Amino acid sequence: MKIKVLHRSLEAHLPESSSSTAPVSRNLDPALHPFARPREYTRAVAAAKLERMFSKPFVASLEGHGDGLYSMAKDESGGLSRIASGSGDGEVRVWDLGDRRSVWEVVGAHKGMVKGVTFSHPVEGEEGRVEKKVGGGERGIKRKRTELGDRGKGKGKEEPESEDEDRLDSTEARGSSRLLTCGSDKTVKMWDLKGSKGSNVQPLQTYTGASGFNSISHHRYDPIFATASSQIDIWDETKTSPLSTLKFHSTSSLSTGEHIVSVAFNKSETSVLASSGSDRTVCLYDLRSGKALGRVSMAMRVNQLVFNPLQPPVLLCASEDHNLYTFDMRNLSTTTQVYKGHVGAVMSADWAPTGREFVSGSYDRTVRLWTAGEGKARDTYHTKRMQR
Amino acid sequence: MDGPVASTSKSLWKGKGKGRDSGRDESLLSNSNRSLPKQDDWVPPTQSLKKYVYAKPNMADKNFLKQKAIPDKKLAHHLQALTSAAKTSSLKAFEHDDLLLSHSNQGLIETETDLERTWKVGQQEIVDGSAIGVAGKAFSLKLDEFGPYALDYTRNGRHLAIAGRKGHVATFDWHSGRLHTELHLRETVRSIKWLHDESFFAVAQKKYVYIYDKAGLEVHQLRDHIEVNQMEFLPYHFLLATIGNAGYLKYQDTSTGQLVAEHRTKLGSCQTMAQNPHNAFIHLGHQNGTVSLWSPSVSKAQVQLQAHRGPVVSIALDPSTMGNRMVTAGLDGTVKVWDTRKWAVLNEFHFKKTPASAAFSQKGLLGLGWGNHISVFNDLQKPGQNPRMSPPPYMTHTFPGVPVSNVKFCPFDDVLGVGHSTGITSLVIPGAGEPNFDSLEADPYEGKRRRREREVNQLLDKVPFDLITLDTDLLGKLDRKTAAPSETENQDKPGWKDTPFSQKTRLDRLKVKGEAVEEEDESSGEEDEDEERRKARREERVEKADAKKRARGRNSTLKKMLRKRRRNVVDPQTVALKEKLSRARDATKKAKLNAMAARSAASGTAGALDRFTFK
């Protein structure tokens, strides 16, 4: 008889020394691992719940405005920390997100609402701008405007700035030094962010238009910006009257006021811009030809247009019909993706700097995060403090 | 292969010592001429790989995808990826087990000659022929005064709890012999069960169930569980299931303390309970010979079998066959082996005596306890065995004059624990236990830190009780009922809701719109006369059954009134009612006769035979 009885030696199963860990023996036979699927399911559910529990998305609130905020812009050349905001009482502020404080403000920038803000980009060695070297070897050449042509008020500002050159605040070392704001009082004003702040501040330049402006967008490199009112005006920063006017959106007899709601420059294909109007259309233009490239008629008005910063043909439209649409600007006949999730009109949207995700805010008081390509929102944020 | 190997080895020898000529180098580096041994290209057969496919087992089948060409390319590509992933993982698992598991010191007793029989091997012979450590496995505790003993091993097979009927409870670590606690409860104790590990055990006492901790302190009194006979603990769901004399199956969650479910079995007192370790179903054996299967989320038995002609004495489930084998033993001495998927009897054996208790080992050995002996069976599945002749046991052991009450195999060890009237005995049964345990599931050698971590991980992984289903693969399967609702739904049933238009199938949608083109069917044109008559009769029957119509024409209010008045009282009102009722009856009778007569006159048949015609 061959008799073999199972017995185990303790050495193989106890830890080698008092400080080492106990040995682990594995047997992958499924008979020893029952309930594989329910256990895996339970772990997945628990992991999702814990992830939700530990995620605390609300970071901070920046307080300072006295009225509701109606426009916001981020500084593309200011690292990732500078944003500007304009409120309903005409106040404009520039914030530093790292310090979570306001670095510049002006009260009464416009009479009435500030409808749009955008940063004017400092240009790196491009022609068309007169440069004036003012100190600062390592930090690079600071660009300055010499001729602003605004009744000489701008000139007075230059000298104190040259004195302050060496004592630049570290927070203001990078970033655009000028801000453009537009309001319903038919003016666009350019502000100097290195200059004085508070009340009774004079803008560097004022541009007057025929009607109140709804939206403003700056060219990525050139000193050109576009405004939307009852037509699209392309302005040069140095001139007080627009370079050209584009009137491709149709006006109906019923429409009153400025019917072009939003305008946006393409930050990667830099001479293309898009606009949307109350006639429910989205128009695409090229500055080089000065003609419209295409036009799409939507079901409802598009409240904001944003181009993808890293993918030139992708245009995101935040529409009144609770959806967001992405278009390929080369083929406006179909949308490439519909994003459904909001339950109220989508008022604004913006792409992440990676170009792979975007965020949208809507009239239903929520902010939703989306991944490009997935039609359902990744996340929804809402607080009681965020109201209509 | 030779080139690069040679160059590197030459560079190794470059600076080492003088006078080493290249000829010597060549011979010393003779392994450079030998190529590396070829990689073992042997692939294990599909059958052994199938065991390791944790996903659907048919994924390991090489013809799985070739059966039907899937027109959807994305889906086909996805299925291809899934099958190849399943195959690689099963191959890896097989290799791991093949190479790393030790198969050396385990196995059944092997006979060397034809004349030897394994059941003649006694415990002394086994202990003498094995290593020294084996002697500690065969022991016996003589506890005369406290009645027949029930026993339970923890999941890792390290700790043993024993309970005598007269109230003696003891828990100890039987490897080292260290006693944890000993209690004299002085009331009837019917059953004992370890909870998730050696920290807690539950005792079914005379009226209630009590939970004690490792030191013997009573920590809970479960007043919902009354007169419990048997208990089972579901380790992955942390549920304690109890059944008692009242016939209520109650599930208690021992991690939250909530009574999760109580089900009325309606089959009386129940003494037999077993747990299917692979789908967590509770098998109950009843006094009328039925075996019923229960889960906490459904209040009726999910399966009911008529297993025996008398009461079911014992049920055992085989952990080695993924919950597919069940053995039931009846009071009439029959022992049946069932397949739990087909619910068919695979084998049936008749014994002269009633088995008292049955238990399966991890390797599939069945232990049966009889009046004064136990027998362990090795291979009960052999088809074609004569049911009249009981199969030869693998091993037996006799307890002279002592009735056996309870048998349990120890997990991960070749030990069978027997509880009888005078204590407990531990027997060595070679080949019973699984030699390689998995530390992440149950580890007999876990230390304090690992025990604590395992307890927390087990609690985090606790499966909710409503995932207990008869089909273990149900989670993740396509729900075909909602994918394609059945067409044979009864529209007249109350509460029937039509599927919304957008979810209807295309044909149904066209039908609703009225645009469905009906296929011309020739047979539908002609209708049989019999068919017509049968249809008319059916409609009549339905009408008759209709309650409203039944009330019309038959004055049942009269009868009701008469019934309400006392029958033995005669007063003028009752007399008047009775007269009215008889008049109404006569009237209906007359009307019937007249109708029959009219019909017979119309049809022309003989009047006397009218009563035999259909109405």
* pLDDT tens string B284-325: 999 999 999 999 999 999 999 999 999 999 999 999 988 899
Residue B12 has pLDDT above 50, yes or no: no
Longest Cα–Cα distance of chain A, Å, equals 116
Token digits for B295?
Answer: 């889960």
pLDDT at B173: 95
Find which of B99, B108, B317, B437 to mutate to test the A interface (most A CBs within 10 Å of its CB): B437
* Contact flag A7-B133 (C-beta cutoff 8 Å): yes
Chain B neighbours among A 43-72 (CB < 8 Å)? 43, 46
**What's the pLDDT band for B486 if we cut at 50, 70, 90?**
low
Condensed to tens digits (0 to 9), the pLDDT of residues B522-538 reads 444 455 677 788 888 88
Condensed to tens digits (0 to 9), the pLDDT of residues B380-392 reads 766 555 666 777 8
CB-CB contact of A149 with A238 (8 Å): yes
Asked if A381 is an interface residue toward chain B (Cβ–Cβ < 8 A), one would say no
Residue B610 has pLDDT above 90, yes or no: no
Which region among A199-213, B398-412, B585-599 has the lowest average model confidence (pLDDT)? B585-599
CB-CB contact of B79 with B65 (8 Å): yes
Token digits for B438?
Answer: 């998995």
Separation of alpha carbons A301 and B481, rounded Å: 42
What spatial distance separates the first Cα and last Cα of chain B, rounded to whole Å? 101
Mean pLDDT of B37-59: 69
DSSP bridge pairs for A273: A265, A285
CA A55 centroid distance within chain = 23
For all residues of chain B together, what is the average pLDDT?
85
* Contact flag A27-B438 (C-beta cutoff 8 Å): yes
Separation of alpha carbons A313 and A298, rounded Å: 19
pTM over the 0.80 mark: no
CB contacts < 8 A (A, B): 134
pLDDT at B525: 44
* Dihedral sign (CA A329, A331, A337, A342): positive
DSSP B504: S
pLDDT at A165: 46
Residues of B in contact with A26 (CB under 8 A): 96, 100, 438-440
pLDDT at B114: 86
User: Closest to B413 (Cβ–Cβ): which among A1, A6, A22?
Assistant: A6
Specify the amino acid at residue B239. L
pLDDT at A229: 92
Token digits for B475?
Answer: 């989670």
Residues of B in contact with A44 (CB under 8 A): none
Residue B41 has pLDDT above 80, yes or no: no
Could you tell me which residues come within 8 angstroms of residue B495 by beta carbon, excluding any fewer than 6 positions away? Answer: none
Instruction: Please tell me which residue of chain A has the smallest CA distance to B279.
Output: A35
Nearest to A118 by CA among A174, A76, A181: A181
CA B282 centroid distance within chain = 6
User: Closest to B54 (Cβ–Cβ): which among A2, A36, A43?
Assistant: A36
What torsion do the CA atoms of B361, B362, B365, B371 make, to the nearest 10 degrees? 0
Nearest to A205 by CA among A188, A193, A220, A224: A188
pLDDT at A265: 96
Distance from CA of B92 to the nearest CA of A (A): 10
CB atoms within 10 A of CB A63: 8
* Contact flag A3-B126 (C-beta cutoff 8 Å): yes
Asked if B319 is an interface residue toward chain A (Cβ–Cβ < 8 A), one would say yes
User: Closest to A2 (Cβ–Cβ): which among B112, B279, B323?
Assistant: B112
pLDDT at B537: 87
Residues of A in contact with B444 (CB under 8 A): 13
* Contact flag A26-B443 (C-beta cutoff 8 Å): no
pLDDT at A79: 72
* Contact flag A39-B463 (C-beta cutoff 8 Å): yes
Asked if B393 is an interface residue toward chain A (Cβ–Cβ < 8 A), one would say no
> From first to last of its 388 residues, what are the pLDDT tens digits of chain A?
888 898 888 888 888 888 888 899 999 988 899 999 999 999 999 999 999 889 889 999 999 999 999 999 998 876 788 999 999 999 999 999 999 999 999 999 999 999 999 999 766 553 334 333 444 444 444 555 554 544 444 444 444 444 444 444 444 446 788 999 999 999 999 999 988 888 889 999 999 999 999 999 999 888 999 999 999 999 999 999 999 998 888 776 666 678 899 999 999 999 999 999 999 999 999 999 988 999 999 999 999 999 999 999 999 999 999 999 999 999 999 999 999 999 999 999 999 999 999 999 999 999 999 999 899 999 999 999 888 8
Chain A neighbours among B 121-150 (CB < 8 Å)? 121, 125-126, 129-131, 133-134, 137
Token digits for B584?
Answer: 């109404």
Token digits for B322?
Answer: 């993924």
Q: Percentage of chain B surpassing pLDDT 90?
A: 52
Distance from CA of B551 to the nearest CA of A (A): 56
**SS3 letters across B113-167:** CCCCCHHHCCHHHHHHCCCHHHHHCCEEEECCCCCCEEEEECCCCCEEEEEECCC
Separation of alpha carbons A205 and A188, rounded Å: 8
Between B108 and B330, the more confident residue is B330
Distance from CA of B216 to the nearest CA of A (A): 28
pLDDT at B127: 92
* Contact flag B51-A37 (C-beta cutoff 8 Å): no
Separation of alpha carbons B322 and B428, rounded Å: 25
pLDDT at B417: 97
Nearest to B316 by CA among B297, B343, B336: B336
pLDDT at A18: 82
Kindly tell me the burial class for residue A81, based on how many C-beta atoms sit within 10 Å of its own C-beta (0-12, 13-18, 19 or more).
middle
Q: Which ipTM was obtained for this model?
A: 0.72
Which residue in the block uniquely carries the two structure tokens 């995932």? B467
H or E, element range at B586: helix B572-603
Asked if B471 is an interface residue toward chain A (Cβ–Cβ < 8 A), one would say no
Nearest to B216 by CA among B176, B163, B174: B163
Edge-first strand listing for the sheet containing A92-96? A69-74, A82-87, A92-96, A101-106
Find which of A27, A39, A40, A45 to mutate to test the B interface (most B CBs within 10 Å of its CB): A27
User: Closest to A7 (Cβ–Cβ): which among B134, B438, B450?
Assistant: B134
Is residue A291 classed as helix, strand or coil in its secondary structure? strand
CB-CB contact of A271 with A243 (8 Å): no
* Contact flag B112-A27 (C-beta cutoff 8 Å): no
What spatial distance separates the first Cα and last Cα of chain A, rounded to whole Å? 88
Separation of alpha carbons B101 and B307, rounded Å: 39
What torsion do the CA atoms of A268, A204, A111, A208 make, to the nearest 10 degrees? -70
Is residue B182 classed as helix, strand or coil in its secondary structure? strand
Instruction: Please tell me which residue of chain B has the smallest CA distance to A10.
Output: B445
* Dihedral sign (CA B101, B375, B123, A3): negative
User: Closest to A4 (Cβ–Cβ): which among B116, B121, B430?
Assistant: B430
H or E, element range at B93: helix B73-100
* Contact flag A30-B52 (C-beta cutoff 8 Å): yes
Mean pLDDT of B511-524: 68
**What's the pLDDT band for B473 if we cut at 50, 70, 90?**
confident
CB-CB contact of B138 with B117 (8 Å): no
Mean pLDDT of B535-554: 69
Token digits for A366?
Answer: 């929520």
CB-CB contact of A239 with A212 (8 Å): no
CB atoms within 10 A of CB B568: 5
Residues of A in contact with B100 (CB under 8 A): 26
Residues of B in contact with A39 (CB under 8 A): 236, 461, 463
pLDDT at B30: 56
**Contacts of range B337-346, beta carbons closer than 8 Å, 24 or more positions apart:** B337/B380, B337/B381, B338/B305, B338/B307, B340/B276, B343/B303, B343/B305, B346/B381, B346/B383
Asked if A27 is an interface residue toward chain B (Cβ–Cβ < 8 A), one would say yes
Spell out the alpha helix ranges (H) of chain A. 36-54, 153-163
CB-CB contact of A240 with A149 (8 Å): yes
User: Closest to B107 (Cβ–Cβ): which among A4, A15, A39?
Assistant: A4
Separation of alpha carbons B469 and B232, rounded Å: 17
Instruction: Report phi then psi at B272, rounded to 5.
Output: -125, 130
pLDDT at A157: 44
Between B113 and A124, the more confident residue is B113
Which residue in the block uniquely carries the two structure tokens 């119509």? B549
Token digits for B506?
Answer: 């295309």
